[in-house]
Amino acid sequence: MKLVSAIIKPFKLDDVREALSAIGIQGMTVTEIKGFGRQKGHTELYRGAEYVVDFLPKVKLEVAVGSDKVDEVIAVIVKAANSGKIGDGKIFVFDLAQAVRIRTGETGNDAL
């Protein structure tokens, strides 16, 4: 099992969710986060005082999938979240040791 953690632009969230649903992904977790990469921050100006805002709002989307599906999930996210501009985000993939569905006690792939 793998945990796919994708940092994307907030306004791409709906596109990504739809694309993942279309390939049968049934659940995901979304967190509003802040961060920066090569895009760096931007500046804001208040009465002439310039502030550099380092951390930009992003969305972190986490999906737990069976190892056989992980490449497809990554491909779908890359396609849906891509705007071609700097700041589109990154995808990180982790090995997932265990998954449990709390209601039934199912474990492993059955719990996904």
Partner 1 sequence: MSHLIKHALANAYKNTIGKGLLVLTGLLSPSLVMAQDAVLNSGDTAWMLTATALVLFMTIPGLSLFYAGMVRSKNVLSVMMQCFAITCMVSILWVVYGYSMTFDVTGMEQGVVNFNSFVGGFSRMFLEGMEVDSLVYAIPESVFMTFQMTFAIITPALIVGAFAERMKFSAMLLFMAIWVTLVYFPIAHMVWSGNGGLLWDWGVLDFAGGTVVHINAGIAGLIAAIMLGKRKGYPTTAMMPHNLNFTIIGAGMLWVGWFGFNAGSAVAANGTAGMAMAVTQIATAAAALTWMTIEWLSHGKPSVLGIATGAVAGLVAITPASGTAGPIGALIIGAAAGLGCFIASVKLKKAMGYDDSLDVFAVHGIGGIIGAVLTGVFAFPQFGGVWSPAEGVTVVGQVVTQIKGVGFTILYTGIVTVIILKVVDLVVGLRVTEDQETEGLDLSMHNERGYNL
Question: Applying CB under 8 A, which residues contact partner 1?
Answer: 44-49, 51-53
Length of the chain, in residues: 112
Residue with Cβ nearer partner 1 (11 or 46): 46
CA dist., res. 88 & res. 10, Å (int)? 10
* Structure tokens, 42: 């931007």
* Structure tokens, 112: 């996904």
Q: CB 41 → partner 1: shortest distance, Å?
A: 10
CA dist., res. 28 & res. 108, Å (int)? 16
Residue with Cβ nearer partner 1 (45 or 102): 45
Residue with Cβ nearer partner 1 (49 or 86): 49
